[in-house]
Amino acid sequence: MEFLSEYGMFLAKAVTVIITIAVIVGIAASALAKEKHDKPKIEHLNKSLNELKGYFESEILSKKALKAIKKSAKADKKKSDDFDKKVYVLDFNGDIKASQANHIKNEITAILAMNPKPDEVVVKLESGGGMVHQYGFASSQLERITNQQIPLTVCVDRVAASGGYMMAAVADKIVAAPFAIVGSIGVIAQVPNFNKVLKKNDIDFEVHTAGEYKRTLTMFGENTDKARDKFREDLAEVHVMFKDFIENHRPTVDVSKVANGDIWYGQKAIELNLVDELKTSDEYLQRKAEEADVYLITQEKKKTIAQKLGLAAQASVSKGVESAIEKMSFQKWFY
Instruction: Decide if 85 contacts 294 (C-beta within 8 A).
Output: no
Q: How far apart are CA 266 and CA 274, in angstroms?
A: 9
Q: How far is CA 277 from the centre of its chain?
A: 22
CA angle 290, 292, 295 (to 5 degrees): 110
Phi-psi region of 239 (alpha: psi -120 to 50; beta: other; left: phi over 0): alpha
DSSP strands (E only) in 201-284: 263-265, 277-278
- Residue 77's φ and ψ, nearest 5 degrees, are -70, -35
Residue 269, classified by CB atoms within 10 Å of its CB into exposed (0-12), middle (13-18) or buried (19+), is buried
Q: How far apart are CA 94 and CA 100, in angstroms?
A: 7
Q: Which residues are catalytic?
A: 162, 214
Instruction: Decide if 126 contacts 94 (C-beta within 8 A).
Output: yes
Residue 80, classified by CB atoms within 10 Å of its CB into exposed (0-12), middle (13-18) or buried (19+), is exposed
| Residue in 132, 117, 123, 120 with CA at minimum distance from that of residue 104 | 123
| Residue in 105, 87, 100 with CA at minimum distance from that of residue 45 | 87
Instruction: Give the strand order in the sheet containing 40-44.
Output: 40-44, 293-299, 86-93, 120-126, 152-156, 173-176, 277-278
Instruction: Decide if 172 contacts 153 (C-beta within 8 A).
Output: yes
Residue type, 234: D
